[in-house]
Amino acid sequence: MTRKHIIITGGAQGIGRVMTEEFLKNDYNVSVFDIDSEAMEEIRPHFDKRHCEFFITDVSNQVSVRSSIRASLKKFDAVYGLINNAVFAIFKPMSELTLEEWNRAISTNLTGTFLCSKFLIPYLKESTGCIINMCSTRAFQSEPDTESYSASKGGIYALTHSMAISLGPDIRVNCISPGWIDVSAIKKSSKAKPEKLTREDHAQHPAGRVGNPLDIARMALFLLDPANSFITGQNFIVDGGMTRKMIYV
C-alpha cells in the first residue's frame, strides 16, 4: 500500500503531536512544520525517519512556508492532506494587549492557515486531497481576555467555508473546533506540566470528561478518509457537548 503524505503545522507539541503519532500509526507519511526547534529535536528520535520528517517553519512567513513545502515534497513527493494546526495564544486584558501580540496571533493562526493552503493548492489538486483547519469553540463563545485568539479562530471558520467553495471539487476543506482538550503534559520537557483535573472538571461536560488530543486526532482521521469525500465546508465541534449546555449562575 502506498502511504499518503500529510503536512501538519504545529505538529511537535500538544494536539499536533498526537495527530502526528496517530497519522503514522494509520500508515501516512507525515511532514511536521513547526517553529519550535527544541520541541522537534526532542521528539525526532521517537519517530521513524522513513515516514516522518521535521521542518523548521514560520507559518506566518511565506518564504519559510514555501521552503518547507519544497523540502517536504522532495522527501515524500506528492501530498494528500494539510492540517493547519500551528497556533499562538495569549490571553490578557484587551487594554494591555500590544499590537505586536495581536499581530502575532493573527499572522500565526489565520495568515499561516492562508499561506500554507495557498502554496499547496496545486499539489493538493493533483491528489484530490483535503485541508483541515483547526478552529476552536472560542470562535463562537468566549471567556474574558481572549480577543486575539478568538478573532483569529473566527477568521479560520469563515476562511474554511470560503476555501471549500473556491477549491471544490478538487480539494475538500473542513475545520475542527476543539473544546477543552488537556494537552498540559504533551509539550516539550521544559514546558510540560500535567494539570490535575478534578471530578468537577470532568463532570461539567455532558460527555462526562475533559477531552484529550486523541479525540481530535480521530476526527481528523475521519475527515482525511477518501470514503468521506461528500463532507466539505463544515465545522466539527469536538467539545464533550459543552457548547450545547445552558449554564446559569
| Grid cell in block for residue 87 | 497556533
Is there a contact between 39 and 13 (Cβ–Cβ < 8 Å)? yes
Spot the catalytic one: 28, 149, 157, 248.
149
Is 157 known to be catalytic?
A: no
Give the DSSP H/E element, type plus range, for residue 238. strand 235-238
Cβ atoms of 6 and 82 closer than 8 Å: yes
How far apart CA 133 and CA 109 sit, in angstroms, is 10
Contact 158/176 with Cβ under 8 angstroms?
A: no
- Three-class DSSP category at 77: coil
State how far the Cα of 173 lies from the Cα of 78, in Å rounded to an integer: 18
Instruction: State the catalytic residues.
Output: 149
